[in-house]
Amino acid sequence: MSKPPPVAGTSRALRYLGLRCLQAVPTVIAIAVLNFFFLRLAPGDLVDTMAGEAGAATPEYMAMLRQLYGLDQPVWTQFLHYLSRLAHLDLGYSFRNSTTVLDLILSRLPNTALLMLSSLAVALVGGVALGTIGARWRGRWPDALISAISTVGFATPLFWIGLMLIVLFSVHLRWLPAGGMTDVEAGRTGLPYLLDVARHLVLPVFSLAVFYVAIYARMTRSAVLEVRDLDFVRTARAKGLAPRKVMARHVLRNALLPIVTMTGLQFGTLLSGSVVIETVFAWPGMGRLAFDAVFQRDLNLLLGVLLFSSCLVVVSNLCTDLLYSVLDPRIEVR
Amino acid sequence: MHRPFVWLPTRRSLLAAGTAGLAAAGLSRGAHAGDVAKPGGTLVVVLDPEPAGLVAGISISAPAVAVSSNIFDGLVVLDETFTPRPQLAESWETSQDGLSITFRLRKDVSWHDGKPFTSADVQYSLIEVTKKTHPRGNAVFANLTAVETPDPHTAVFRFSRPSPVVWAALEGTETQILPRHLYEGTNPIANPWTAKPVGTGAFVFKEWIRGDRIVLERNPNYWDKGCPLLDRIVFRTIRDAGSRTATLEAGEAQYGAMNPVSLADTERLRGSADLTVETRGFEGSAPMYFFDFNMRRKPFDDIRVRQAFAHALDRTALARTIWYGLAEPATGPIPSYQKAFYNPDTPQYAFDPKKAEALLDEAGLKRGPGGVRLRIDHVPCAYGDDYIRAAEFYRQALKRIGVELRVRTFDLPTYLRVIFTDYDFDTHSAWYSAYPDPQIGVQRRYWSQAIKKGTPSSNASQVADPDLDQVIEAIQVAGDPAERHALIRRFQSVAQEKLPSINLLELKFFRVYAKNLDGISFAPFGGYQSFKTVSTSV
Amino acid sequence: MTVVLLTKATRVATLLSGRKRAKWPSSSFLRRLLRNRSATFGGAVLIAAALAAVFAGAIFDADPLDMVGRPYTWPFTDRLHPLGTDMLGRDILVGLVYAARVSLAIGFAAAALSTILGVSLGVLAGYFGGWTDGLISRLTEVFQTMPPLILAVVVVTVLSPSVGSIACGIGIASWPQIARIVRAETLRLRDSEFVQAAVSVGEGHLRIVAGHILPNALPQIVVTGSILVASAILTEAALAFLGLGDPNEISWGSMIGAGREAMRTAWYMTALPGLAITAVVLSLNLLADGLNDVLNPRAGNV
């Protein structure tokens, strides 16, 4: 993370914002270049995949497809075409999915965002609460229990937790759906629709959150312990503030800083964590889209998803920096 | 499926006729005999992978067929004896010389957008779509020179040579009739209607949410009155096999098309009170599993080495341990259930490791240090974990005769390049569809002209044998069915004798569905056919 | 991979508190480490796993891929196969022991690769600053913005699955974090008095980096590195779950990958290697915590 800016006024913040966006341009171009050539090293192309899925194909048919997809052109020509399309903000067409890459991404993005933001929220709340409790009862049994559970949660493969939850809650108890995002009964709108999505969200969110709760609990605990002994907290305590108020106003607020950094960084890894969980829970998200695109050699789609997620990371890093300087006045004086 | 009953005035009597029709058409009558079929309702089908397009006539793949056969019809449909029955064509006749077939088309058919279906659609579909943009249409319909349309309800196919093979491909699961008015003048592959199809079939396309579901709804104007019974079909894409099993077991889906669950799970599901594991309905695609040698590499040019391998692999154990009984040892390149073509009397190689070792000794491959006589690699096809486990089975079996096998696995596109473009393998195992006619599915493994660099499912072993070529080419030009059948029988003997590839198993693909479903088709392509006769019993 | 972020964020907390980090400790290091309970426990489990991996051949003189028993034997039902057999009749206990080899090898190799890449680039960027820093920071950013798991998948696909390519893929996907940590550490140390002193007496760049900067950054690198190993083992399992494993070697990930198909029928095939992974990853995390406590005594009460 580059050094957060000393924010004094809106104009300075805006200027900083502009500068950062400018800096991001070469990064995005580098990502496009790297992806384009690196992915091409993988043997086979989209036409191979489609012919393989068809079970049989004639050479004439494959030649026709390659011509249609522009795969018969030299790599450099293809690359220039790709760049010029990008310059027009056109991500291209996915022949494997018979629709435009942008449509695909826009239809999947909200799903992944919902999944990730919900798990982050659950993890944040759960983790901060558990971490605070742990710090409060440091060295005693609640602390030991919390750190034991969170350490184990942290060390267990995500997909394994997901699969076990399905077996227990969907197959045996039949309390929650095994996968998907909505029930197939079409036409639900409004509240029933939201409730339906919420029901489908429980297991995947829980599986992902188990992992993140561990991180947040550990961080909160150490941050709280760290801040607790600092001068200003001692002063507050000496002033006779109630311990609960000291905790809420001074300790937790300051302990939140590293957690904000963490959340910002995690937002950037939005896609990675979701690939596995989206696979297990048949969640129609971006992670699985990217993953399938690799194996189908759907380069337009994969490039599009990676570019899009890269931009998301750049933006989220930027937001974290800004938020950071707003949250912590000390940054300015340092 | 042609439904022989006539229109009856009330819905109730109609359903009664429908149930009678089921028996006649060889459909399932459900587990609960005596129950009445309940019209309406939604059928949820789990599907994997997501198809590339929803018109199998253009982008054909198993899931594309399973979805699009509900939206489109073919001219005919094959019954359990592989005999063509009417669908969009009411009747047909073949000329004496076999050079033309005249189809009389149904007059009461319209497209989902209301336009009438005519012979012009048939002409366009065969000449412009099947022959040009279907992955194998060009090969199957090579001799089709024209489709004439003397009137809107007659289509005459003209051939340059008799082509009995086309009957195996005229089904709606292989050759679909598309609406000319939406496709003419476009490249069918890039046509946007391929993702929101308009057909003549029993169900109408509603929506496709990629990565999640495809929704079809009942076609109220379907020509086959009384069909379809369901109101809606939802195809859900679920990538993980374990999650598919869970979805079926939880009752969230009632039907799983084409090997929806892992083989390991089938054993338990076969004992399930709610679900059926059904292996009928794939005799048309006829998956045949085999072990290829790279004929251009030593020592596989030596027939004794190939015979030794054939004797070293216990096909019965393979079927039992890897396929959990969902496979039968094969005796040749054509499956035993395709009775019209099958030849039971061909050279066989019984499981006999001692004989295998003797053959290898004879071929000069003596055991060296560590008991190893030969180090080779093996590439299993990239169609699933079962095939990788089978490769592990071969490694174990061949180790016993002193052959060390290194398994190399790849994802699908890499696999296709390694096997069919680079031919970079010693041995290879895969399955191909035999299809209802060996000329489509089987000869491509044995014909020297089928060594086509870059073409999937072609002649990977690169066998080029004059005897094989001679019999294969004779089959292609034989117009007389009896003569053709005799040649096909001889071909099987030659293939088994030359052994460029060991025919291991007749795989049994399967569907998993709820026991209260009625009207499931068991025809040769039943596994891919329309759900128009399906309903849930009460 | 996210795991690395944890150290980073903890470090942010440390920096904010304005405290100084202790230098690389002297001979009392091992004694203090042994006194640390979590480090001792983690270390013991890890050593046991490593011993099993090294002496697998001596413990069980068999090929773990051999089909030796009746398939689907449940654990504790057959004396010959105490932990049962898988769907092909391969002994699970033998498998677990041999798999420790590959899983640990992939874990350490991937961590080593990303540490080497990350440390060299991080030191270069932090030490020289200027355009070197600009270039390397951009490169780091490019790699960091790509989803690590997808990046690993692409590398493994390009190189086709094998133990080497899997380690390579994981390593390439996880170097940016350690590079950023090392860069920040180098930046801090470069301005320190002792480095300035070394510069003033005319020491060469290499000597300054090797003699002053690296030793002082080492505690941070060791702690991060041990977490990287843990995260690499988890990533290997995820890749195997997604179908990217080496068919000629047995790893805990590949055992889960193979067992997941039969999970509903025989969950023990998935559960046992899953437990092995959890145990080793847990011990690595505990070891990292312990190291952090000992090496950075005032930094974390983690």
The percent of residues above 70 in pLDDT, for chain A, comes to 86
More confident residue, A325 or A158: A158
Where residue B102 falls among pLDDT bands split at 50, 70, 90?
A: very high
C148 touches chain A (CB under 8 A): yes
Helix axes C252-259, B385-399, angle to 10 degrees: 110
Task: Evaluate whether residue C95 is within a structural domain.
Answer: no
Reference C95, options C125, C67, C130; nearest CA is: C67
Task: Evaluate whether residue C275 is within a structural domain.
Answer: yes
pLDDT of residue C20: 40
Least CB-CB distance to B410: which of C89, C160, C258?
C160
- Chains contacting C with at least 3 CB pairs below 8 Å? A, B
Q: What would the mean pLDDT of B353-362 be, rounded to a whole number?
A: 95
pLDDT of residue C14: 42
Cβ contacts (< 8 Å) between A25 and chain C: which residues? Answer: none
Among the residue ranges A144-153, A183-192, B73-82, B181-190, the one predicted with the least confidence is: A183-192
Where residue C54 falls among pLDDT bands split at 50, 70, 90?
A: confident
Burial class (CB in 10 A: 0-12, 13-18, 19+), B479: middle
Where residue B27 falls among pLDDT bands split at 50, 70, 90?
A: low
Reference B412, options A306, A303, A50, A63; nearest CA is: A50
pTM over 0.95: no
pLDDT of residue B11: 35
Rg value, chain B, Cα:
24
Q: Quick: pLDDT tens for B311-349.
A: 999 999 999 989 989 999 999 999 999 988 999 999 999
pLDDT of residue A187: 60
Reading the block at residue A268, the tokens are 């950037």
CA separation for the pair B199, B376 (Å, rounded): 51
Task: Evaluate whether residue C212 is within a structural domain.
Answer: yes
Contact map slice: B 208-247 vs A, CB within 8 A: 209-213, 215, 232, 234, 236-240, 242-243, 246-247
The rounded Cα A156 to chain-centroid distance in angstroms is 19
Among the residue ranges B37-46, B360-369, B405-414, B431-440, the one predicted with the least confidence is: B37-46
Among the residue ranges A50-59, A101-110, B335-344, the one predicted with the least confidence is: A50-59
Task: Evaluate whether residue C41 is within a structural domain.
Answer: no
Mean pLDDT of chain B: 88
Q: Which of A9-13, A279-283, B438-442, C217-221 has the highest mean pLDDT?
A: B438-442
C71 touches chain B (CB under 8 A): yes
Least CB-CB distance to C10: which of A154, A219, A269?
A219
Q: Which of A15-19, A124-128, A243-247, C188-192 has the highest mean pLDDT?
A: A124-128
Helix axes C268-295, C214-241, angle to 10 degrees: 170
pLDDT of residue B510: 95
Q: Quick: pLDDT tens for B485-502.
A: 999 999 999 999 999 999
Reading the block at residue B310, the tokens are 């054939």
Burial class (CB in 10 A: 0-12, 13-18, 19+), B294: buried
Question: How many of the other CB atoms lie within 10 Å of CB of C208?
Answer: 18
Res A3 pLDDT > 50? no
Cβ contacts (< 8 Å) between C149 and chain A: which residues? Answer: 271-273, 275-276, 287
Task: Evaluate whether residue C151 is within a structural domain.
Answer: yes
Reference A210, options A266, A162, A280, A264; nearest CA is: A162
Q: Determine the topology of domain A107-327 in CATH.
A: MetI-like fold (1.10.3720)
CA distances from B224 to B1, B200, B473, C84, C201 (A): 9, 11, 41, 56, 96
- Chains contacting A with at least 3 CB pairs below 8 Å? B, C
Q: What are the residues of chain B with a beta carbon less than 8 Å away from any beta carbon of chain C?
A: 241-242, 245-246, 249, 262-265, 267-268, 321-322, 385, 388-389, 391-393, 395-396, 406-411, 414
Q: Quick: pLDDT tens for B376-415.
A: 999 999 888 889 989 999 998 999 999 999 999 888 889 9
Query: CA neighbours within 13 Å on the CB side: how many for C60?
Result: 21
DSSP string covering B207-238: EEETTTEEEEEE-TT-SSTT----SEEEEEE-
Cβ contacts (< 8 Å) between C265 and chain B: which residues? Answer: 264-265, 267-268
More confident residue, A5 or C247: C247
More confident residue, B59 or C106: C106
Task: Evaluate whether residue C36 is within a structural domain.
Answer: no
Q: Quick: pLDDT tens for C141-162.
A: 888 878 888 889 989 988 888 8
DSSP string covering A201-256: HHHHHHHHHHHHHHHHHHHHHHHHHHHHTSHHHHHHHHTT--HHHIIIIIIIHHHH
Rg value, chain A, Cα:
24
pLDDT of residue B150: 95
A134 touches chain C (CB under 8 A): no
| Residue A257 identity | L
Contact map slice: C 44-73 vs A, CB within 8 A: none
Res B116 pLDDT > 60? yes
Reading the block at residue C156, the tokens are 């493994």
Res A278 pLDDT > 90? no
Q: Hey, what domains does chain B have and what are their CATH numbers? A: 7-71+201-281+510-537 (3.40.190.10), 76-183 (3.90.76.10), 287-507 (3.10.105.10)
pLDDT of residue B294: 96
Instruction: Walk across the sheet containing B89-94 and list its strands.
Output: B89-94, B100-105, B154-159, B144-151
Q: Do B417 and A48 touch (CB under 8 A)?
A: yes
Where do we find the tokens 């090294």?
Answer: C54
Q: Do A179 and B243 touch (CB under 8 A)?
A: yes
Where residue A44 falls among pLDDT bands split at 50, 70, 90?
A: confident
Res A279 pLDDT > 80? yes
Among the residue ranges A196-210, B295-309, C7-21, the one predicted with the least confidence is: C7-21
Q: At residue A92, what are phi and psi to the nearest 5 degrees?
A: 95, -170
CA separation for the pair B479, B492 (Å, rounded): 19
Under 8 Å between Cβ of C252 and C238: no
Reading the block at residue C50, the tokens are 């490593």
Residue B72 CB partners (closer than 8 Å, separation 6+): B55, B56, B57, B172, B176, B177, B178, B197, B199, B200, B201
CA separation for the pair C175, C117 (Å, rounded): 6
Least CB-CB distance to C16: which of A257, A287, A291?
A257
Beta-sheet pairing, B89-94 with B100-105: antiparallel
Cβ contacts (< 8 Å) between A186 and chain B: which residues? Answer: 215, 232, 234
The percent of residues above 90 in pLDDT, for chain B, comes to 59
Q: Do C265 and B267 touch (CB under 8 A)?
A: yes
Under 8 Å between Cβ of C236 and C165: no
Q: What would the mean pLDDT of B219-236 be, rounded to a whole number?
A: 92
Among the residue ranges A83-92, A219-228, B202-211, the one predicted with the least confidence is: A219-228
Reference B120, options B109, B135, B133; nearest CA is: B109
Q: What would the mean pLDDT of B361-387 be, rounded to a whole number?
A: 92
Where residue B182 falls among pLDDT bands split at 50, 70, 90?
A: very high
Tally of domains in chain C:
1
CA separation for the pair B391, C87 (Å, rounded): 14
Least CB-CB distance to A314: which of C145, C241, C301?
C145
More confident residue, C80 or B126: B126
Res C3 pLDDT > 60? no
pLDDT of residue A9: 57
Res C302 pLDDT > 50? no
pLDDT of residue C5: 41
Q: Note down the domain range covering C259.
A: 7-11+102-297
Contact map slice: A 154-183 vs C, CB within 8 A: 154-160, 163, 167, 171
Chain C interface, mutation test: which of A33, A120, A147, A226, most C Cβ atoms within 10 Å? A226
CA separation for the pair B339, B83 (Å, rounded): 12
pLDDT of residue A329: 52
Preceding amide of C176 cis, omega within 30:
no
pLDDT of residue B123: 95
Q: At residue A186, what are phi and psi to the nearest 5 degrees?
A: -75, 170
Q: Quick: pLDDT tens for A216-243.
A: 887 788 777 777 777 777 777 777 777 7
Among the residue ranges B491-495, B520-524, C25-29, the one predicted with the least confidence is: C25-29
- The residues that bridge with C219 in the sheet, in sequence order, are none
Q: CATH no. for residue C165? A: 1.10.3720.10
Res A42 pLDDT > 90? no
Least CB-CB distance to C285: which of A27, A154, A255?
A154
Cβ contacts (< 8 Å) between C67 and chain B: which residues? Answer: 321, 393, 396
Q: What would the mean pLDDT of B366-379 be, rounded to a whole number?
A: 93
Q: What would the mean pLDDT of B249-254 be, rounded to a whole number?
A: 87
Phi-psi category of B530—alpha, beta or left, where left has phi over 0 and alpha has psi -120 to 50?
Answer: beta
Preceding amide of B188 cis, omega within 30:
no
pLDDT of residue B21: 38
DSSP string covering B348-381: -----HHHHHHHHHHTT----GGG--EEEEEEE-
pLDDT of residue C211: 83
Using alpha carbons only, give the angle C201, C121, C208 rounded to the nearest 5 degrees. Answer: 15
Reference B147, options B190, B103, B179, B183; nearest CA is: B103
CA separation for the pair C44, C52 (Å, rounded): 12
CA separation for the pair B346, B499 (Å, rounded): 11
Query: How close C139 gets to chain A, by Cα (Å)?
Result: 8
Question: How many of the other CB atoms lie within 10 Å of CB of B516?
Answer: 17
3-state SS, one letter per residue, for A57-80: CCHHHHHHHHHHHCCCCCHHHHHH
| Residue B298 identity | K
CA separation for the pair C210, A130 (Å, rounded): 42
Among the residue ranges A192-196, A266-270, B125-129, the one predicted with the least confidence is: A266-270
Q: Do A58 and B44 touch (CB under 8 A)?
A: no
Q: What would the mean pLDDT of C170-196 be, rounded to a whole number?
A: 86
What sign has the CA pseudo-torsion B324, B330, B334, B338? negative
